C-alpha cells in the first residue's frame, strides 16, 4: 500500500508541474494576444489566429487534463491517507488549492473570450495576473515541505514580501521595455 501511495504521489506531482506549466504559458499567450491587438491589421490577423490555435491546444491538451489528473491522484492519495485532512497545514493547503481552481476557472473565462478575439484586459494586466499562479505555487510548496501552519503568519508575511518584490520587478521590467521601444 505504501508503494502505491508513492506512485500516486509521483503522478500527482508530475501533473501539478504540467498544470502549472500550462497556466504559466497560457497567461503568457494572453499577453501576446493582447499585444497583437495593437498591431496593424495584416500582422494582427496572422498573430491572433496563431495564438488562438496555441491557446486552444495548450488549454485542452495540457492544462485541463493536467488539472484533472492532478486532482484524481490527489483524491486517491487522500483515500489512502485520509488523516491528512485533519492536519492544519493540509487544510491551509486546500484553501490554496481552491484558490488555484478559482484562478484556473478565471483563466478559462479569459481563454473563451480570447477565442472570440474579445480582449478585455491589457497585456500589463495579464503580466500581473500571471503572478497569481506563482504566489499559489510558492504557498503550497512551502506548506507541503515545511508542514507547518503554526508559522502561517511568517508564511503570509513572506508571500506579501515576495509579491512586492515581483511588483517591483515588473515595474522595473516595464521601464526597461519602454526605454527599448
Q: Which residues are annotated as a binding site for heme?
A: 12, 93
Residue numbers in the known binding site are 12, 93
Burial of 122 (0-12, 13-18, 19+ CB in 10 A): middle
Q: Nearest Cα to 17, choosing from 141, 163, 150, 178?
A: 141
| Residue 22 to residue 118: CA distance in whole angstroms | 21
| Residue 104 to residue 112: CA distance in whole angstroms | 12
| Residue 176 to residue 170: CA distance in whole angstroms | 10
Amino acid at each position: 500500500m505504501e508503494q502505491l501511495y508513492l506512485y500516486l504521489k509521483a503522478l500527482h506531482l508530475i501533473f501539478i508541474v504540467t498544470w502549472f506549466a500550462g497556466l504559466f504559458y497560457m497567461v503568457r499567450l494572453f499577453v501576446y494576444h493582447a499585444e497583437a491587438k495593437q498591431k496593424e491589421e495584416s500582422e494582427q490577423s496572422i498573430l491572433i489566429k496563431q495564438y488562438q490555435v496555441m491557446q486552444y491546444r495548450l488549454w485542452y491538451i495540457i492544462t485541463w487534463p493536467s488539472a484533472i489528473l492532478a486532482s484524481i491522484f490527489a483524491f486517491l492519495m487522500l483515500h489512502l491517507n485520509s488523516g491528512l485532512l485533519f492536519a492544519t497545514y493540509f487544510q491551509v493547503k486546500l484553501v490554496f488549492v481552491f484558490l488555484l481552481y478559482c484562478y484556473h476557472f478565471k483563466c478559462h473565462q479569459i481563454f473563451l473570450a480570447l477565442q472570440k478575439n474579445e480582449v478585455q484586459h491589457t497585456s500589463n494586466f495579464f503580466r500581473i495576473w500571471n503572478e497569481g499562479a506563482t504566489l499559489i505555487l510558492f504557498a503550497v510548496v512551502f506548506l507541503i515541505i515545511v508542514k507547518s501552519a503554526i508559522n502561517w503568519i511568517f508564511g503570509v508575511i513572506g508571500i506579501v514580501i515576495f509579491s512586492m518584490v515581483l511588483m517591483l520587478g515588473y515595474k522595473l521590467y516595464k521601464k526597461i521595455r519602454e526605454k527599448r521601444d
